[in-house]
Structure 1
Amino acid sequence: MTAGAPSGPPEGPLRQDGRQSSASPRPLWGRLSKGVLTHVAAIVIGFAIGAVAGYAGAGGSTDTPATPKVTVTATSTATETSSTDSSGTAQKARSGEIPGDGTYVVGKDIEPGTYRTDGPQGGLVPNCYWARLSSTSGDLRDIIANGNTKGRTTVTIASTDKAFTTTGCNRWTKAD
């Protein structure tokens, strides 16, 4: 070894002339450009704002629970015709029975009295829906009584009822 030669690796960056610089190396954050730091800071701030907004929007306060707004819309079309079968042909109610889906006018299509059904027809709709109606206007307020059953059902249709509607039920037969 020579007297002027270093004994190990250089301790700092070399200058262009090959000699060692006396300046110490810059740390990583010092070597990053201001543009990169600006972008990283913007991302971190964006995540922080999103987290706060998400927490507040999700009902961040435990004092008052969020209450969803519910809108109910009922649409019904009532007709004064007998029900139709799968071919579109109108079914006429025989005396003492209600053949199936449809709206039936009391005193014209069906007689007042007590009727029974074995329940739903099956298939896609697992329930049997029925309603006694004070009018055939289709308004929700026209329902005197109704039900949505899964088994045998008995309903008494009064002579003062205007109509009876049924959906998804087997044939209704008069019980009295």
Structure 2
Amino acid sequence: MERLPVPPNLFDEHFADIHRYIARRLSEDVADDLAAEVFVIALHGGYDPSLGPARPWLYGIATNLVARHRRTEIRRWKAIARAAERDGASHEDEVLDRVTAARFTGPLAGALAGLKQRDRDVVLLVALGGLSHAEVATALGIPFGTVASRLSRARKQLRRALGEVNPLKEDSDG
């Protein structure tokens, strides 16, 4: 099947969301480059509207690019976890903010780093990208049921690591 050119408004419609997703997973600096690269790849790869909406396709490209930075991402989360453990004796004006953030951020970062890459990708596409299960399945090229099982397994692992706190709502409607 012949691929069609990328629709001209694709960049305008999706760049901010793709950038935000990557920035939440990695950093603003990396997101600048990788978000642009998503659209370069999209431009060269063409878009087949018969495969469905472009949004999951773009998130799939973004997730693949993030996977290339996996080791850096894991090292970053492990460093955040270690820093949170050390930050108990900061300056008084910063202590309350840091302690509050560290109580959750450090353990969560460590717990995310402990997930298998495939499970972490599903969690972060749902939590940071705001994708539905169906969109995650499309983005990663996996069956819908696999998304549900990976998300369930990851939630259990994250809850155990965070002392049975529910880091992701079971029901995204509230």
How does the TM-score come out when normalised to structure 1?
A: 0.21
Q: Which protein has the bigger helix share?
A: 2
Q: Which protein has the bigger strand share?
A: 1
Of structures 1 and 2, the larger Rg is shown by 1
How does the TM-score come out when normalised to structure 2?
A: 0.21
